[in-house]
Structure 1
Amino acid sequence: MSDTAAAKPKGGPTDWLKRLFVRLGILPFLLVISVVVFSLMSENFLTGRNMMNVLRQSVYLTIVSLGQMFALLTGGFDLSVGTILALSSVVGAMTMASIYGAMPDAVWLAISMGCLAGIAAGTLIGVANGIGVAFFRVSPFMMSLGMASVGFGIALYLTGGVPVYGMPIQFGDTFGFGTLLGVPTPIWVAAVLILALWVLLYWTRWGRYFYAVGGNLKAARLSGINVQGVLFSTYVIVAALAAIAGMLLTARLDTGEANIGASMPLESIAACVIAGVSLRGGIGRLENVVLGALFIGLVQNGMNLARIESYLQTVVLGGLLILAVIADQIRLRYVASLKD
């Protein structure tokens, strides 16, 4: 065999796709497939107006998924994010409506205090989760599941299951339907949060600690990392982001709802796993999670345009999550084989 023949790369298109899969994960393949399928099913899918609509609808899931990524990075997950959305929505709406009813001229005071109250109420769920996981070493599954029940019960108790009305119309007009430079306000909020989290994860020492704790907890502790502080801050960050998403969604709905966010735990975990965040901890990229959340929003939008029933949409989402987990396991095997 000549030297030229020996120097040629092995394999054909299959090996090239395998290498691409190992490097990028399953998300690019799913994006291409979904765009092609839904473009064929609806001529309105790839229009600029619909793409902007997808971005706006995906904002809430994107923000929650960014928080869920922190939990997954440290080797846990948060099942209470849906409850946090509901509790922040209810408390924020009730506070806002109460202040606005007492002082109709103090519109922005009512909006500010309502948003602060809603975000604080949601963040308290994260504080409880953080204390349980970090200091009492409760399983993240059990801790967040228990707090999900507690928070949901509080939200229902406060409202009796009835939506909360009476908020200033400016709240919905600004944070629900408002635009800045032609871009919806919620997208700007998400962009600011993405930038802040990017700096935290990739430009600070504390950001590297999240990866270290999830990668090897004992090694992180032995290297002097404050593991309890990292775990506590993780669940506070998750809750704060979910609470912000809850207030934005409240502005969009123009009511405080105790029943919103029920599907958010599944969707946020699916967005992270599809984006390549490892369920074992220590692996994941923020920009990929943003794309993962947008992908789920794209699929939901495409199914709506294709007039697929909402019940079947839940089936599709669950199937995507299972597919992503299987793909992640196959990818890990490929990586291991390449190292050997």
Structure 2
Amino acid sequence: MENKSASISKVLSKYMLEIILVILIIVVSFTSSAFLNTRNLFNILRSMSMTGIVAFGMTFVIIAGEIDLSIGSTVALSGVITALITGKLSAAGAMSMETAVILGMLAALIVSLLIGIFNGILLTKFKMPSFIITLGMMNLLYGVAAVISKGFPVTTLPGWFSWFGAGMLFGVVPVPALFLLIIFVISFVVLKYTMFGRMVYAVGGNPESARLSGINVNLVKICVLSIVQFCSAISGILLSSQVMSGTFSFGKGWEMTAISAVIIGGASLSGGIGRVWGTFLGLIFLGVINNVMTLNGVDDYTQYIVQGALIIGAVLINSLQTKKQVK
């Protein structure tokens, strides 16, 4: 009997988030008749797509025992770079706007990787805390985006570009959701089934043991910081496509949403624990909560309070579960 109870307790603990999410959806479906509407469900999927892509990148970083607060500013900078380069090249007559935007997107992706590598070098070579590095980079990159755009939205983008952020597949599925699912699958496979994924967990769990076992800890940390920056650039491009402009104020607060999804999904800020599937569930959880509050006319400020409470609650539950495992 005791073994059966222990087994049930173990299952409940393992699938706690899934159970809570199902209960939440059932309760919400009764409180709002518009919630289960197909159009509304796809709106939730669209709204969580771009922040979700960043959250999957953040999963790598948090599992490795680090943090990145500069992702929101990379989202903004990527959109501005894409639009600016498109405008400059097409205005100079070097190529058509339709071709120039492709180079603009490539430039944004390359810059994001360079930012990640730079953050990683400061972390590994100069032993600066990732929290401080990325906090400084957050302001620095927003400043760069504002300066190069002169504080105004950059709208030099071709009409077809809007398909990435605002298009629909089969007239129903938002295109950003397709990108979300692709990044989800890649992240899931990499973390669960590849050598690199095992190294990320090892580095986050015990860096010294990982080093002694032959893992290049510094390289792994540089890689995860580059991954989250690359994901941020993808989101920035999609966002600029959705609104057809690059604006320096885009992406503000996205770092908190991404971190919230990862932590709610069961990751530990101490490193070594986390899963991409958990992050995906965390995104759905936040998306449902925010959608319900919007449907019921809850103001933005109250939504911030709820989201903050969810983060604290998730960290508390995570800490209690970790203590149980230690005992």
**TM-score for the superposition, normalised by structure 1:** 0.90
Instruction: Name the amino acid aligned to 1:323.
Output: G
Instruction: Name the amino acid aligned to 1:209.
Output: M
Which residue of structure 1 lines up, in the alignment, with residue 169 of structure 2? Answer: 180
Instruction: Name the amino acid aligned to 1:79.
Output: L
Which residue of structure 2 lines up, in the alignment, with residue 42 of structure 1? Answer: 32
Q: C-alpha displacement at 1:107, in angstroms? A: 4.1
Which residue of structure 2 lines up, in the alignment, with residue 4 of structure 1? Answer: none
Which residue of structure 2 lines up, in the alignment, with residue 203 of structure 1? Answer: 193
Which residue of structure 1 lines up, in the alignment, with residue 129 of structure 2? Answer: 139
Instruction: Name the amino acid aligned to 1:189.
Output: F
| Mapped partners of 2:25, 2:56: distance in 1 | 23
Structure 1 position 62 matched with structure 2 position 52: yes
For residue 74 of structure 1, the aligned residue among 64, 82, 88 is 64
Report the CA distance shift for 1:282/1:103 in structure 2 as closer, same or farther (over 3 A). same
* 3-state SS of 2:255 partner: helix
CA contact (8 A) 2:97 2:157 kept: no
| Mapped partners of 1:270, 1:289: distance in 2 | 9
**Number of aligned positions between the proteins:** 326
Q: C-alpha displacement at 1:19, in angstroms? A: 3.5
* 3-state SS of 2:157 partner: coil
Which ranges of 4 or more aligned residues in structure 1 deviate by more than 4 Å?
Answer: 7-11, 15-18, 102-105
Instruction: Name the amino acid aligned to 2:13.
Output: V
Structure 1 position 23 matched with structure 2 position 22: no
CA contact (8 A) 1:93 1:118 kept: no
Superposition RMSD in Å: 2.0
Report the CA distance shift for 1:329/1:93 in structure 2 as closer, same or farther (over 3 A). same
Which residue of structure 1 lines up, in the alignment, with residue 161 of structure 2? Answer: 171
Q: C-alpha displacement at 1:305, in angstroms? A: 0.8
| Mapped partners of 1:109, 1:294: distance in 2 | 36
CA contact (8 A) 1:97 1:168 kept: no
Structure 1: runs of 5 or more not aligned: 1-6
CA contact (8 A) 1:54 1:297 kept: yes
Instruction: Name the amino acid aligned to 2:14.
Output: R
* 3-state SS of 2:252 partner: coil
Deviations 1:196-215 (A, max 9, x none): 22232222211210000001
CA contact (8 A) 2:240 2:246 kept: yes
Report the CA distance shift for 1:219/1:9 in structure 2 as closer, same or farther (over 3 A). closer
**TM-score for the superposition, normalised by structure 2:** 0.93
Instruction: Name the amino acid aligned to 2:232.
Output: A
Structure 1 position 320 matched with structure 2 position 310: yes
Instruction: Name the amino acid aligned to 1:274.
Output: I
| Mapped partners of 2:115, 2:63: distance in 1 | 19
| Mapped partners of 1:227, 1:236: distance in 2 | 14
Structure 1 position 309 matched with structure 2 position 299: yes
| Mapped partners of 1:204, 1:9: distance in 2 | 34
| Mapped partners of 2:94, 2:22: distance in 1 | 51
